[in-house]
């Protein structure tokens, strides 16, 4: 049985905790299936997710993503247990490596062996959630003698975020779902092929695996301004080694090199200018309500099953939100 299509809203709201809770409640009333929390700083994703769990009844709550370097597996497992209970089985823990900039500069952690670290964190957290006492010695993690009570009402799913082949295949093989982000449209087929390979390695069918994506969407009649927002917001992402290599792997080696050079020279114009209009339009979903809805349907046909709507434009956020409510959108 294939996974059903879902629409979701990105959280937290930049205005703070109260606004995040109100937006989650509104999303539930308006027919969204999920809310997914980013954890890039400012409003903490996991504690705010707990508040949302207590203020909603139906909507599913996920993280896309929690960086594995910023919390230990024991902390992630104990937090997941609480969120699973508070939400009455509506919580999904999405894990990922994040980037060198966030982990090394912000958190002071060593960004080493990200694929192995995410795999080992997923394996260890899964084991802890069953109530087993830890006896784990991996390449990047170790834990011995830790135990927490097992969960009786189901098993919290753990998803892995992925960009390039190794992580895409590992996510499909070792976790319960795959989280994608910031890919040019034409790269999706080969990404899905690696997901299929990983899934089959674990005896799974691709159509039974949930594939989550945070789409950058702006419903607008001013594409030019929307493109500039995308450039300003995400050219710096593509300057980090993780996303720079990903953009090159997607077929944009020259663009990736120009972004890297612009960033190193502290030349913001060169950095953002490397993202041509056509490439911005492939990475983000910009335009009229009908245009944006059609792009989401196209991605659904290409294999994405859960569509997180994220709007970078405050003045367009309400019309973007409304475009994907239960009354206004279906697959």
What averages of pLDDT result for each successive group of 10 residues across the chain (331 residues)? Answer: 92 94 98 94 90 98 95 97 97 88 69 92 96 96 95 92 97 98 98 98 95 98 98 95 96 98 96 98 98 98 98 97 97 96
Residue 106: what pLDDT? 67
Residue 13 falls inside a structural domain: yes
Write down the pLDDT at residue 212.
Answer: 98
> Which sign does the torsion angle of CA 197, 208, 94, 330 carry?
positive
In the prediction, which pLDDT does 41 show? 73
Does residue 103 sit within a domain?
yes
- ∠ CA 304-309-312 to the nearest 5 degrees? 130
Tokens of 83: 């969120």
The CA distance from 48 to 79, in Å, is 12
Answer yes or no: is 329 within a domain: no
Task: Give the pLDDT score at 255.
Answer: 98
Burial class (CB in 10 A: 0-12, 13-18, 19+), 168: buried
Q: Report how many domains make up the chain.
A: 2
Do both 85 and 212 map to the same domain?
A: yes
149 and 24 together in one domain: yes
Same domain, 158 and 259: no
Same domain, yes or no: 233 and 161: no
**What pLDDT is recorded for position 155?**
92
Predicted local confidence at residue 98, as pLDDT: 75
Nearest to 236 by CA among 265, 261, 264, 263: 263
Say whether both 123 and 101 belong to one domain: yes
Residue 100 has what pLDDT?
67
| Whether 90 and 227 share a structural domain | no
Any domain includes 1: no
Is 0.85 surpassed by the pTM of this model? yes
Torsion over CA: 201, 207, 209, 210 (sign): positive
User: What is the pLDDT at residue 105?
Assistant: 64
Token pair listed for 205: 């069918």
Tokens read off for 175:
């976790």
Domain range for 120 is: 6-216+289-323
Taking the C-alpha atoms of residue 233 and residue 271, their distance in angstroms, rounded to an integer, is 11
Same domain for 132 and 260, yes or no, is: no
Q: Would you state the structure tokens that stand for residue 101, as one six-digit string?
A: 């900039």
Q: Which two tokens stand for residue 158?
A: 């753990």
Helix orientation angle between 253-264 and 223-239, rounded to the nearest 10 degrees: 80
Is the Cβ–Cβ distance between 281 and 187 less than 8 Å? no
Please indicate, yes or no, whether residues 247 and 168 belong to a single structural domain of this protein: no
Same domain, 90 and 191: yes
């Amino acid at each position: 049985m294939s996974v059903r299509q879902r629409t979701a809203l990105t959280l937290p709201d930049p205005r703070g905790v109260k606004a995040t809770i109100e937006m989650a409640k509104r999303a539930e009333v308006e027919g969204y299936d999920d809310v997914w929390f980013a954890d890039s700083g400012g409003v903490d994703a996991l504690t705010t997710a707990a508040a949302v769990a207590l203020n909603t009844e139906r909507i599913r709550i996920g993280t896309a993503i929690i960086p594995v370097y910023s919390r230990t597996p024991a902390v992630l497992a104990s937090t997941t247990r609480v969120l699973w209970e508070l939400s009455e089985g509506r919580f999904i823990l999405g894990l990922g490596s994040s980037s060198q900039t966030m982990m090394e500069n912000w958190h002071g952690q060593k960004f080493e062996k990200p694929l192995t670290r995410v795999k080992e964190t997923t394996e260890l957290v899964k084991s802890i959630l069953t109530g087993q006492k830890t006896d784990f010695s991996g390449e990047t993690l170790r834990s011995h003698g830790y135990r927490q009570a097992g969960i009786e009402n189901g098993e919290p799913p753990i998803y892995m975020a992925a960009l390039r082949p190794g992580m895409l295949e590992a996510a499909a093989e070792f976790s319960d779902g795959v989280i994608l982000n910031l890919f040019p449209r034409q790269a999706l087929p080969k990404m899905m092929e690696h997901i299929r390979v990983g899934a089959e390695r674990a005896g799974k069918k691709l159509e039974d695996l949930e594939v989550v994506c945070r789409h950058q969407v702006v419903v607008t009649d001013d594409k030019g301004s929307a493109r500039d927002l995308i450039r300003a917001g995400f050219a710096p992402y593509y300057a980090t080694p993780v996303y720079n290599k990903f953009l090159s792997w997607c077929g944009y080696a020259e663009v990736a090199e120009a972004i890297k050079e612009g960033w190193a020279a502290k030349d913001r114009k060169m950095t953002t200018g490397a993202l041509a209009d056509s490439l911005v339009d492939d990475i983000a979903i910009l335009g009229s309500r009908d245009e944006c809805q059609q792009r989401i349907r196209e991605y659904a046909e290409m294999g994405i099953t859960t569509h997180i709507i994220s709007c970078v434009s405050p003045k367009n956020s309400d019309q973007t939100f409304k475009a994907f409510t239960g009354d206004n959108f279906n697959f």
